[in-house]
């Protein structure tokens, strides 16, 4: 509305001016050489206006002609740039859905049309990575690292390629250079922090952590926790070399992370050595309420030097009773009581504590029951049976990070390099998955509970073609890699000891020997030619837990046997000229 009003006002002013000029009397005399003109004032004003319009039009035409080549060049460049952007966009989309050929074609087009565009270099590098051409990808990333605008992106690409080539030193050098350019680079700080922790450079790791806090990569709470983890790792390393520095580090760590188990255990140890028993007990109790752990129970039991085993039992019972109301009867507290009760020769107390867990025991429960049978009654057979059950029993919680199970706490995950990754939990990979194996194992354990296995029962030779020879069960296979070390050692020593001292049974007839066999014993038949050879233990079928190879698909031609005649199978008609000729009976 305002524009319309202004336009009408301008029209009115122009009309008023034209009327005023038209009302002016007089003439304008122009003399040029021998020519003389005397137009009136309105005519003169009109001629001046027409001349000005003609001059403006002529100037516009001249400038348009003068600027035409530049405009053509600019338009052609813009059109070329637009085609390059189009190629970059569709090339990145092709990389997104994994079309290698289309991505390469768009990358070549973008490199030809927009060679200086940073996205063109990125498309070229990613298409080379998609094809598996690492040399080309590294060359492009080096070119990007030399440019000012793409330096960090090029370093990031070189870092990834170094990781793929298992060049840890080169990857860390690239990450350190990236940190110098941009301290807020998350990937670079994560890589350098993991490398320094793996190398044991705790001072350097703490410096990286401080820079991360200054750059705003982590909050204050996470910073306190991670700093406590690094200080604990340094204290554990310097415990035997520089105890003063270790004590100072762990005391600062326990203030920053009071629920960290290794920090609480080590701090309680130092406080106990300094005769600060009450302070040591408070440190362990604070960590125990947040995360019950067997190391905390052991540190609490031995917090005061010189106590008897019964005093340690009472102290452990006090600690187990301090678990919060949402964890009544926690298994860690009960196992700690059982351990202390066995040491104090309170066998009835240990049996009462372990009774709720023996129907479905874990490895630690089974080992405690084996030790209880051996210590209280000297019953080697039942101790051996419980030890065998420990091999196949459920796994207890362990220090686990990113699927990796460790026998001790570590500050950094060896898989991803993540700080404070280890958690005290049951490994997922250790859960049982084969019920049939568990049923057979239970039957074998029942047979072991009945009587110790004979070494070998061999039938008397006869005139028959094949004679059955009964052998003892094969030695129990070792536990998996992620089982506790003490379980493996105890099982191996116990089984070898029991098998070595087992009495040799007299030779029985084949029928009686077969009836008295344990469930797991399997007869192995030997021919007459094998009678002079020593008998071998039966080979148990073991299914390796490995990753299945990729499915190669279904073959175009089904499996065939060259020695078997194919009957009733119709042959497909040939194509091309041979098929055409066969249709006409040629």
Can you give the pLDDT at residue 430?
60
CB 113 within 8 A of CB 82: no
User: Which residue has better confidence, 327 or 358?
Assistant: 358
What average pLDDT does the segment 70-83 reach? 89
- Whole domain around residue 341: which residue ranges? 219-348
pLDDT attached to residue 322: 82
Q: What is the CATH number of the domain that holds 237?
A: 1.25.40.10
For the chain, state the CA radius of gyration.
Answer: 44
Q: 308 lies in a domain?
A: yes
Indicate the pLDDT class of residue 554, thresholds 50, 70 and 90. Answer: very low
Residue 477 in any domain: the answer is no
| Bridging pattern class, strands 398-401 and 404-406 | antiparallel
Residue 244 in tokens: 């003063």
Predicted local confidence at residue 327, as pLDDT: 58
**Mean pLDDT across the stretch 242-251?**
93
- pLDDT band of residue 458 (cuts 50, 70, 90) is very low
**Confidence band (pLDDT; 50, 70, 90) for 489?**
low
Compare 116 and 272 and report the one with higher pLDDT.
272
Choose between 511 and 210: higher pLDDT.
210
pLDDT of 114 reads: 84
pLDDT of residue 232: 95
Q: Using pLDDT thresholds of 50, 70 and 90, give the confidence band for residue 265.
A: very high
Q: Which residue has the higher pLDDT, 164 or 519?
A: 164
Question: The pTM is what?
Answer: 0.60
Q: What total number of domains does the chain contain?
A: 1
Least confidently predicted of 259-268, 322-331, 450-459, 543-552: 543-552
All residues at 6 or more sequence positions from 42 whose CB lies less than 8 Å from its CB, including other chains: 21, 22, 24
Contact (CB, 8 A) for 228 and 253: yes
pLDDT of residue 60: 92
The helix or strand, by DSSP H or E, that contains position 10, with its residue range, turns out to be helix 2-22
Q: Is 70 exceeded by the pLDDT of residue 121?
A: yes
Most confident of 188-192, 433-437, 475-479, 536-540: 188-192
Q: Which of 445, 329, 446 is nearest to 390 (CA)?
A: 445
The answer to whether the beta carbons of residues 333 and 297 sit under 8 Å apart is yes
512-519: average pLDDT:
39
> Is pLDDT at 365 greater than 60 in this prediction?
yes
pLDDT of residue 582: 52
Query: Given a cut of 50, is residue 464 above it in pLDDT?
Result: no
C-alpha to C-alpha distance for 278 and 171, rounded to whole angstroms: 48
Answer yes or no: is pLDDT of 463 > 80. no
Q: Quickly state the pLDDT bin for 500 (edges 50, 70, 90).
A: very low
Q: What's the mean pLDDT in 4-32?
A: 84
Q: Which of 350-359, 444-453, 487-496 has the highest mean pLDDT?
A: 350-359
Measured in degrees and rounded to the nearest 5, phi and psi for residue 2 equal -65, -40
Residue 487 counted as domain residue: no
> What whole-number distance in Å separates Cα of residue 156 and Cα of residue 178?
8
Q: Is the pLDDT of residue 329 over 70?
A: no
* pLDDT(468) > 60: no
What token pair was written down for 310? 């019964």
The whole-chain average pLDDT of the chain stands at 76
Is residue 562 one of the residues assigned to a domain? no
Reported as type and span, the H/E element at residue 582 is: helix 576-583
Query: 233 lies in a domain?
Result: yes
pLDDT at 66 over 60: yes
Strands (E), 388-543: 398-401, 404-406, 423-425, 456-458, 466-471, 524-527
- The answer to which of 168-172, 231-235, 320-324, 501-505 has the lowest mean pLDDT is 501-505
* Size (the chain), residues: 586
Among 28-37, 363-372, 568-577, where is mean pLDDT lowest?
568-577
Question: What's the rounded mean pLDDT across residues 233-246?
Answer: 92
70 domain-assigned: no
Greater pLDDT, 444 or 220: 220
CA dist., res. 56 & res. 416, Å (int): 72
Note whether residue 284 is domain-resident. yes
Is a pLDDT exceeding 80 seen at residue 193?
yes
Number of H helices, E strands in the chain: 23, 8
Residue 58 has pLDDT above 90, yes or no: yes
Percent helix, strand and coil across the chain, each to the nearest 5: 60, 5, 35
Among the residue ranges 13-22, 117-126, 205-214, the one predicted with the least confidence is 13-22
Structure tokens at 250: 């762990």
Interval 198-214 mean pLDDT: 90
Is residue 297 situated within a structural domain? yes
149: pLDDT confidence band, cut at 50, 70 and 90? confident
Mean pLDDT score, 86-105: 90
Strands 466-471 and 524-527: antiparallel
**What is the mean predicted confidence (pLDDT) over 319-336?**
75
Amino acid 371: pLDDT: 92
Q: What is the predicted pLDDT for the residue at 519?
A: 38
Say what the pLDDT of residue 543 is: 32
* Residue among 256, 253, 331 at smallest CA distance from 292: 331
Q: pLDDT of 174-191, one tens digit each?
A: 999 998 888 888 888 888
Q: What is the pLDDT of residue 300?
A: 92
At residue 90, the pLDDT reads 92
């Amino acid at each position: 509305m305002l524009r319309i009003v202004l336009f009408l006002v301008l029209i009115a002013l122009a009309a008023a001016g034209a009327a005023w000029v038209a009302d002016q009397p007089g003439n304008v005399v122009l003399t040029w050489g021998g020519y003389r003109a005397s137009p009136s004032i309105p005519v003169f004003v009109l001629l001046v206006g027409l001349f000005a319009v003609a001059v403006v039009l002529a100037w516009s035409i001249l400038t348009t002609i003068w600027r035409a080549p530049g405009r053509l060049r600019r338009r052609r460049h813009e059109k070329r740039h637009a085609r390059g952007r189009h190629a970059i966009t569709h090339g990145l989309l092709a990389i997104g859905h994994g079309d290698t050929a289309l991505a390469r074609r768009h990358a070549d087009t973008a490199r030809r049309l927009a060679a200086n565009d940073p996205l063109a270099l990125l498309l070229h590098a990613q298409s080379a990575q998609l094809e598996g051409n690492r040399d080309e990808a590294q060359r492009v990333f080096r070119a990007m690292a030399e440019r000012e605008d793409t330096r960090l992106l090029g370093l990031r690409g070189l870092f990834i390629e170094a990781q793929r080539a298992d060049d840890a030193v080169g990857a860390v050098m690239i990450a350190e250079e990236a940190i110098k350019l941009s301290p807020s680079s998350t990937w670079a700080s994560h890589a350098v922090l993991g490398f320094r922790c793996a190398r044991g450079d705790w001072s350097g790791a703490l410096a990286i952590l401080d820079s991360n806090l200054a750059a705003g990569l982590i909050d204050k709470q996470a910073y306190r926790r991670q700093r406590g983890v690094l200080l604990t790792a340094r204290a554990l390393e310097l415990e035997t070399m520089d105890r003063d520095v270790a004590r100072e580090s762990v005391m600062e760590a326990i203030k920053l992370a009071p629920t960290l188990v290794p920090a609480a255990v080590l701090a309680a140890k130092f406080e106990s050595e300094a005769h600060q028993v009450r302070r040591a007990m408070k440190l362990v109790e604070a960590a125990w309420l947040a995360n019950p752990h067997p190391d905390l129970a052991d540190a609490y039991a031995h917090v005061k030097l010189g106590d008897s085993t019964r005093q340690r039992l009472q102290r452990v019972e006090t600690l187990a009773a301090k678990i919060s109301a949402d964890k009544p009867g926690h298994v860690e507290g009960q196992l700690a009581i059982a351990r202390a009760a066995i040491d104090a020769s309170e066998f009835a107390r240990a049996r009462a504590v372990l009774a709720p867990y023996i129907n479905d025991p874990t490895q630690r429960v089974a080992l405690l029951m084996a030790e209880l049978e051996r210590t209280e009654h000297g019953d080697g057979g039942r101790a051996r049976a419980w030890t065998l059950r420990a091999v196949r029993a459920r796994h207890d919680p362990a220090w686990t990070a990113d699927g990796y199970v460790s026998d001790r706490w570590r500050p950094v995950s060896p898989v991803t390099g993540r700080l404070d990754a280890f958690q005290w939990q049951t490994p997922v990979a250790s859960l049982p998955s084969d019920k049939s194996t568990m049923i057979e194992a239970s039957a074998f354990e029942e047979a072991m509970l009945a009587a110790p296995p004979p070494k070998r029962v061999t039938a008397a030779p006869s005139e028959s073609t094949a004679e059955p020879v009964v052998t003892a069960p094969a030695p129990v296979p070792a536990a998996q890699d992620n089982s506790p070390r003490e379980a493996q050692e105890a099982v191996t020593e116990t089984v070898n000891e029991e098998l070595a001292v087992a009495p040799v049974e007299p030779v029985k007839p084949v029928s009686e020997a077969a009836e008295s066999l344990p469930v797991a014993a399997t007869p192995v038949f030997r021919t007459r030619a094998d009678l002079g050879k020593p008998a071998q233990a039966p080979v148990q079928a073991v299914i390796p837990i490995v990753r299945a190879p990729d499915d190669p698909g279904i073959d175009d031609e089904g499996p065939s046997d060259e020695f078997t005649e194919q009957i009733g199978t119709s042959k497909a008609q040939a194509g091309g000229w041979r098929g055409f000729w066969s249709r006409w009976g040629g």
